[in-house]
Amino acid sequence: MSAAPKAAARRLKVTQVRSTIGGTHAQRETVRSLGLKRIGDTVVQEDRPEIRGMVDTVAHLVAVEEVE
């Protein structure tokens, strides 16, 4: 079997712009699961449904842009 060529994996650049203080426990844990520790931290994640769901959960705390 030959391997099918992979499409370019899309990625999301996620930056924490607001504090988790005052947020729910689930929101704090979601921000940590994304790999963010403090305001100004940026991580690049795969553009997958699981990551999109986490970003939607804390959309008011993070800024997101698509990168390739």
- What would the pLDDT profile of 8-61 be if each residue is shown by its tens digit? 689 999 999 999 999 999 999 999 999 999 999 999 999 999 999 999 999 999
Residue 3 counted as domain residue: no
Residue 42 counted as domain residue: yes
Q: In whole angstroms, what is the distance from residue 22 CA to residue 11 CA?
A: 29
Stretch 62-67: mean pLDDT:
97
- Per the structure, how many domains does the chain have? 1
Return the pLDDT at 68: 83
Residue 47 counted as domain residue: yes
State the CATH number of the domain containing residue 49: 3.30.1390.20
* Residue entry with tokens 């729910």: 24
Q: How far is CA 11 from CA 17, 20, 26, 31, in A?
A: 19, 24, 24, 17
Q: Which domain holds residue 23?
A: 11-58
Residue 67 counted as domain residue: no
Residue 53 is inside which H or E element, if any? helix 49-57
Residue 17 counted as domain residue: yes
Provide the whole-model pTM.
Answer: 0.84
Return the pLDDT at 13: 98
Q: Is the pLDDT of residue 7 over 90?
A: no
